[in-house]
Amino acid sequence: MSTASAHQFFSACASVGGALIGLLFVAISVAPERVLGPDASDVHGVRAAATLTAFTNALTVVLFGLIPGFNAGHAAMVVAILGLLFISAGLLRLYPGWRAGQIRLLDIGFLVGLLGVFVIQLIAGIRLVRDGRDGGDLQTICVLVIVCFLIGIERAWELVGGPSVNLPHEFLVRIRARREPSEADDGEGDQP
């Protein structure tokens, strides 16, 4: 199985990637103060860069995969290495804020997801270059392209300040809401 067998997938993803990168720039222009302004946090800056990195990673792989006779494993390896360098730079940028207690580990969790993507992509890219007929590695790279799109979309949503609706967060909110009134009642009952 060669990368030519994924031509239709790569073609569709090239269109999706281009559109998502355009929408990312629109999202940043809607709320530029969160990312570009003088009061912009390092977390938002790294989050914006991570979004662009995820989208360009996917777009680069699929565009090179469209070149006749070109093994997409080469592109997957190169952009995975660049992605790993980006994660290193992002962590270095955020480390002082984390040490100062201004950034929580949860705020940089998105980098862990990208780290996983880039490591798996690098391994699959190396294996695809070694044996271009291995459909499993090509399929892994195709899945990672989709994962990069999904990670990028989620980061873009956070950049524009969209609400975070996820099950663990909703449980925590409900548990805290239940505890707060009962703690207030306990405190009032102890006073004469």
pLDDT tens by residue, 26-36 = 877 877 777 77
**Amino acid letter, 173:** V
Q: What is the mean pLDDT of residues 148-171?
A: 78
Q: Is the pLDDT of residue 78 over 90?
A: yes
In this structure, what are the phi and psi dihedrals at residue 37, rounded to the nearest 5 degrees?
-70, 170
Q: What is the mean pLDDT of residues 11-28?
A: 86
Q: What is the mean pLDDT of residues 95-103?
A: 82
The more confident residue out of 184 and 70 is 70
pLDDT tens by residue, 46-65 = 888 888 899 999 999 999 98
Q: What is the mean pLDDT of residues 97-125?
A: 85
Nearest to 100 by CA among 51, 41, 50: 41
Q: Is the pLDDT of residue 190 over 60?
A: no
Q: For residues 1 and 164, what is the distance between their CA atoms, to the nearest angstrom?
A: 40
Q: For residues 83 and 148, what is the distance between their CA atoms, to the nearest angstrom?
A: 11
